[in-house]
């Protein structure tokens, strides 16, 4: 290691010292009743929102809810999930304020809940989830029901008060049987219709609702259901053999978001649902909840509309006109004063890490984006590095240079100076910059090969506990010292196994327990794994899974030898460091009485039956939840789902983002099939299959995926279609289902017979669990376009740019021609395959080389050339890139080059050594159905 003088970081070695005084426990903060003044509703983009929050806080009255209830001391009560039955009161009378619940422990290791007595849902053959993901069915309404049975359905009240949100059988639940058969039910003979892939991207089906409700409904990009027609009973759902569940992207970046500041956040007194476009107004003074059907009073303040400045039209308030809104929350929604944005970077500096060279990219990215880190004047930052010892950095304002403090006792980690290791970003900015400039060279000559990751994480937990925040861990090898050390579990000879894939689960519960401790102290851990060899991601991933963190993975990372991975890290770091972030968040999903949730998928900790704890929430995180039908829905024509995300913004403002989705209820099996959202269904099945792989085996998960196709098409054929058994018939809504399942079976997470590294497989499974639907579908079934003949016909105009729209090609080598060039969009990576006989004009005008032979083997950028072909190609690729948060890395692949193997693995309609072609898979499905 170089001397302190060379790196301008003074160094002290600690062997033993005073212990850190533990920080305050979860929920111990006394509420600060400081009020923030509201403004009327505003509509901002997410990017503008952070800058405008300070201005939004400054007009005239205090932002508190009308309730003067005692301060709740747990998040469960705080978001409103545990309100007692109002048995003695009528539904329309005011309910007493709820008493607060006893505080939860910081984050106990969850135990498996009692099995719920509900009808077995689709996929019941899947074993139960591991503790932490496991969840009993939620009670129909978390807060209890009024005893008066008169409020049992939408139809009980006629709409006496005019409004867009009238919910009656005349508006929703339109049966498809009374009209012409919709396109979604058109029978398709899958074995005869070879070209079923549409030439344009598949869109989410639009629910069969009244036009007014369609306009008001939530965007499928934020919230969608696997079935857009909800079966009346669990029996009907079981007959359809289809999965029922929700796919959520609750914190995604939005261009327009109604932000509401009001003295009163109007919610149902019984189930605590937020008022939304699908409630019914009985008259000016009363509204009926669309989830539990309770009648509530309209608060006086809600009679005034801040947008129209009119009085007496509550149905025109912004909360009732928008299915996605964000409320500025009052102090009633806080357990403690809002935390500052706190960022801690925990960096591997062993020989392996220094050799890989990631420190240069990280430090450079941090220097470039230091002023763009989300936060305010209170933002704090800290750094910890580790090899066989742990190194802290004193960056306290007033020091002339950073001070390195080395703790060698990794068995009993302590903080050498608790108060100066996390410092105010603005006050200590120059010292932070000095450290970032010095870090890449500080360990250049190290010979330390060990990695004490576990102890470094224990130190990070102690450091972050008093406030909470985000820990970013960079690791390059298998942890080899101290708590959480791991042994290599991968046998390279078993990678191509067609049956047994072992070690998909963690080797130790150390990382999970640590994650639960972090979650209890509002700290999320994000893991960046930059490894050239096996690092046991299945064990390490637990630290992020259960603390609501993210996982980034860069196999074979090297600063110079693998420039595409280096570029990927650089681009993803920029997004990671500057994207919107929410702290100390909780999310609750509510649904209409009769429906219940029983399994959640994503990175979080389940605090109660329907409350997810998210120490951090980011715009790139997706979630899924499985549903069952507990009670018949015959009394209603519509059901609704609502997700509420309560979080602290990086500017220290408590906010609640609410999404509400409305869907019709149907009584016939044909209607159920007509409303299948096949992409949502495949993403939910993928999540279920990951759990099955870990709790049972990979072969069981693969069998279950195949059976999902067999069961649903068999049920359709025997109950809806009048087809011959000799043909494989699917409704048009399900025609892509077998193709997508085959694509899943060939995806890294589930494929067999190909040499797949264990860490690669586990990372693919992690991605399935936390990717939003749009990105997950690209990962499962990439899009293929021919790009050597781009034309302006059918092009769209985006920001004064003409963007060609080439048709989608099916993923088969038969669609490739050596005279052409093809772009494959896999979500996080783009491939441009160039045929051997591709036109030299394209090669010269787009790639910048005179002919095929002169194209380099490792080309990762398109040059900016002043030609029409170049402009079209770059415009199209830029448009694809702009539609997602992470910028995909581009690989130009020459025909017959070794690199084409990866490209051809994505051609899922073709046969491989160990897997069916699409046509063979259809014959296999047909054979199983006819058994």
pLDDT for position 754: 76
Residue 42: strand pairing partners: 259
**Interatomic CA distance for residues 136 and 113, integer angstroms:** 6
Give the distance, in angstroms, between the CA of residue 323 and the centroid of all CA atoms in the same chain: 20
259, 41 in Cβ contact below 8 A? yes
Select from 537, 555, 579 the last residue of a domain.
Answer: 579
Q: What does 807-832 look like in DSSP terms, one character per residue?
A: PEE-SSGGG--TTSEEEEE-SSEEEE
For position 464, which CATH number holds?
3.40.50.410
Closest by alpha carbon to 625, among 598, 595, 607, 644?
598
423, 312 in Cβ contact below 8 A? no
Please tell me the total number of residues recorded for the chain in this structure: 931
pLDDT for position 857: 87
pLDDT for position 502: 85
647, 329 in Cβ contact below 8 A? no
**Interatomic CA distance for residues 450 and 742, integer angstroms:** 42
| Angle, CA of 101, 103 and 108, to the nearest 5° | 125
What DSSP state is assigned to residue 324? E
**Is residue 598 in a domain?**
no
- Write the CA distances from 669 to 185, 238, 715, integer angstroms: 11, 10, 10
809, 786 in Cβ contact below 8 A? yes
Select from 532, 554, 579 the last residue of a domain.
Answer: 579
**Is residue 611 in a domain?**
no
117, 238 in Cβ contact below 8 A? no
**Is residue 675 in a domain?**
no
**Is residue 373 in a domain?**
yes
Q: Each residue of 358-394: b (16+ CB within 10 Å) or e?
A: bbebbbebbeeebeebbbbebbbbbbbbbbbbbbbbb
pLDDT for position 721: 65
Q: Each residue of 437-476: b (16+ CB within 10 Å) or e?
A: ebbbebbeebebebbbbbbbbbbbbbbbbbbbbbbbbbbb
Closest by alpha carbon to 836, among 892, 895, 891, 900?
895
Closest by alpha carbon to 335, among 705, 570, 27, 627?
27
For the chain, what is the total number of helices (H) and then of strands (E)?
A: 24, 36
Decide the pairing of beta strands 469-475 and 342-348: parallel
**Is residue 805 in a domain?**
yes
For position 862, which CATH number holds?
3.40.20.10
859, 892 in Cβ contact below 8 A? yes
**Interatomic CA distance for residues 246 and 588, integer angstroms:** 13
**Is residue 385 in a domain?**
yes
The count of other CB atoms within 10 Å of the CB of residue 22 is 10
**Is residue 612 in a domain?**
no
Residue 664: strand pairing partners: 638
pLDDT for position 60: 28
Contacts for 501 with CB less than 8 Å, ≥ 6 apart: 494, 693, 697, 698, 752, 758, 761
Boundaries of domain holding 893: 782-905
pLDDT for position 792: 87
Decide the pairing of beta strands 469-475 and 523-531: parallel
Residue 157 phi/psi, 5-degree rounding, is -115, 125
**Interatomic CA distance for residues 334 and 33, integer angstroms:** 9
pLDDT for position 12: 73
Which stretches of the chain score pLDDT less than 70? 1-8, 14-180, 496-499, 721-725
Closest by alpha carbon to 133, among 605, 544, 503, 525?
605
**Is residue 227 in a domain?**
no
Give the distance, in angstroms, between the CA of residue 351 and the centroid of all CA atoms in the same chain: 34
pLDDT for position 490: 83
Q: Cα torsion for 277, 282, 287, 291, to the nearest 10°?
A: -70
Model confidence pLDDT, tens digit, residues 287-304:
999 999 999 999 998 998
Q: What's the total number of domains in the chain?
A: 2
Select from 556, 579, 602 the last residue of a domain.
Answer: 579
């Amino acid at each position: 290691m170089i001397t302190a003088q060379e790196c301008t970081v003074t160094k002290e070695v600690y062997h033993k010292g005073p212990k850190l005084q533990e920080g305050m426990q979860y929920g111990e903060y006394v509420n600060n009743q400081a009020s923030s003044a509201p403004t009327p509703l505003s509509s901002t983009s997410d990017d503008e929102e952070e800058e405008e929050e300070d201005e939004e806080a400054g007009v005239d009255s205090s932002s508190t809810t009308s309730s003067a209830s005692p301060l709740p001391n747990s998040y469960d009560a705080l978001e409103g999930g545990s309100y007692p039955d109002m048995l003695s009161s009528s539904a329309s009378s005011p309910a007493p304020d709820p008493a607060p619940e006893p505080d939860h422990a910081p984050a106990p290791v969850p135990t498996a809940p009692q099995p719920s007595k509900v009808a077995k849902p689709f996929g019941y053959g899947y074993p139960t989830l591991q503790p932490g993901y496991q969840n009993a069915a939620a009670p129909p309404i978390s807060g209890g029901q009024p005893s008066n049975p008169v409020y049992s359905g939408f139809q009980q009240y006629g709409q006496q008060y005019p409004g867009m949100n009238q919910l009656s059988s005349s508006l929703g639940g339109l049966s498809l049987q009374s009209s012409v058969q919709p396109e979604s039910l058109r029978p398709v003979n899958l074995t005869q219709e070879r070209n079923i892939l549409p030439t344009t991207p598949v869109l989410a089906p639009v629910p069969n609702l009244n036009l007014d409700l369609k306009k008001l409904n939530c965007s499928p990009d934020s919230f969608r259901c696997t079935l857009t027609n909800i079966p009346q009973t669990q029996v009907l759902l079981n007959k359809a053999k289809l999965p029922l569940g929700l796919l959520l992207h609750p914190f995604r970046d939005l261009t327009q978001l109604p932000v509401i500041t009001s003295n009163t956040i109007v919610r149902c007194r019984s189930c605590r649902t937020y008022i939304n476009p699908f409630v019914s107004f009985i008259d000016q003074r009363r509204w009926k909840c669309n989830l539990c059907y309770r009648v509530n009073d309209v608060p006086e303040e809600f009679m005034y509309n801040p947008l129209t400045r009119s009085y007496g039209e509550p149905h025109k308030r912004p909360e009732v006109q928008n299915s996605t809104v964000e409320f500025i929350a009052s102090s009633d929604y806080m357990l403690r004063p809002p935390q500052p944005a706190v960022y801690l970077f925990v960096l591997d500096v062993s020989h392996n890490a220094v050799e890989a060279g990631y420190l240069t990219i990280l430090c450079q990215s941090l220097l470039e984006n230091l002023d763009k880190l989300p936060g305010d004047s209170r933002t704090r930052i800290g750094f910890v590095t580790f090899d066989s010892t742990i190194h802290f950095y004193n960056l306290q304002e007033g020091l002339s240079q950073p001070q390195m403090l080395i703790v060698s006792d990794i068995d009993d980690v302590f903080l050498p100076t608790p108060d100066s290791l996390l410092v105010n970003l603005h006050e200590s900015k120059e010292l932070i910059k000095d450290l970032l400039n010095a870090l890449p060279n500080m360990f250049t000559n190290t010979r330390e090969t060990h990695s004490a990751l576990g102890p470094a994480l224990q130190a990070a937990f102690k450091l972050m506990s008093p406030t909470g925040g985000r820990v970013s861990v960079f690791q390059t090898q298998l942890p080899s010292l101290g708590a959480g050390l791991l042994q290599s579990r991968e046998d390279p000879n078993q990678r191509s196994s067609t049956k047994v894939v072992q070690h998909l689960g963690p080797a130790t519960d150390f990382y999970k327990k640590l994650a639960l401790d972090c979650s209890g102290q509002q700290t999320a851990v994000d893991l960046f794994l930059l490894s050239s060899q096996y690092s046991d991601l299945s064990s390490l991933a637990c630290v992020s899974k259960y603390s609501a963190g993210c996982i980034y993975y860069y196999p074979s990372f090297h600063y110079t030898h693998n420039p595409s991975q280096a570029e990927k890290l650089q681009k993803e770091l920029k997004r990671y460091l500057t994207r919107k972030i929410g702290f100390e968040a909780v999310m609750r999903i509510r649904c209409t009485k009769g429906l219940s949730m029983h399994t959640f998928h994503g990175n979080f900790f389940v605090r109660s039956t329907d409350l997810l704890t998210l120490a951090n929430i980011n715009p790139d995180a997706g979630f899924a939840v499985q549903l069952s039908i507990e009670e018949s829905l015959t009394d209603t024509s519509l059901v609704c789902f609502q997700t509420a995300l309560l979080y602290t913004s990086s500017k220290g403002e408590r906010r609640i983002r609410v999404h509400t989705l409305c869907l019709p209820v149907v009584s016939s099996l044909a209607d159920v099939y007509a409303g299948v959202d096949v992409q949502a269904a495949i993403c939910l099945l993928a999540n279920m299959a990951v759990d099955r792989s870990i709790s049972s085996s990979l072969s069981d998960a693969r069998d279950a995926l195949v059976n999902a196709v067999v069961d649903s098409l068999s049920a359709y054929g025997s109950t809806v279609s009048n087809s011959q058994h000799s043909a494989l018939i699917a409704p048009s809504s399900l025609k892509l289902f077998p193709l997508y399942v085959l694509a899943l079976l060939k995806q890294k997470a589930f494929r067999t017979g190909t040499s797949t590294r264990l860490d690669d497989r586990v990372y693919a499974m992690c991605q399935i669990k936390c990717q939003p639907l749009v990105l997950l579908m690209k990962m499962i079934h990439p899009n293929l376009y021919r790009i050597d003949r781009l034309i302006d016909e059918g092009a769209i105009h985006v920001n004064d740019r003409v963007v060609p729209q080439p048709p989608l090609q099916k993923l088969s080598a038969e669609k490739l021609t050596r005279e052409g060039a093809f772009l494959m969009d896999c979500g996080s990576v783009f491939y441009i395959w160039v045929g051997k006989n591709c036109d030299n004009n394209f090669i010269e005008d787009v790639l910048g080389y005179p002919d095929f032979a002169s194209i380099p083997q490792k080309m990762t950028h398109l040059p900016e050339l002043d030609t029409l072909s170049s402009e079209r190609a770059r415009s199209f690729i830029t448009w694809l890139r702009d539609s997602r948060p992470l910028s995909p890395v581009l690989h130009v692949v020459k025909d017959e080059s070794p690199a084409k193997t990866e490209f051809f693995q994505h051609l899922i309609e073709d046969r491989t050594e160990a897997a069916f072609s699409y046509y063979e898979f259809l014959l296999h499905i047909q054979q199983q159905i006819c058994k």
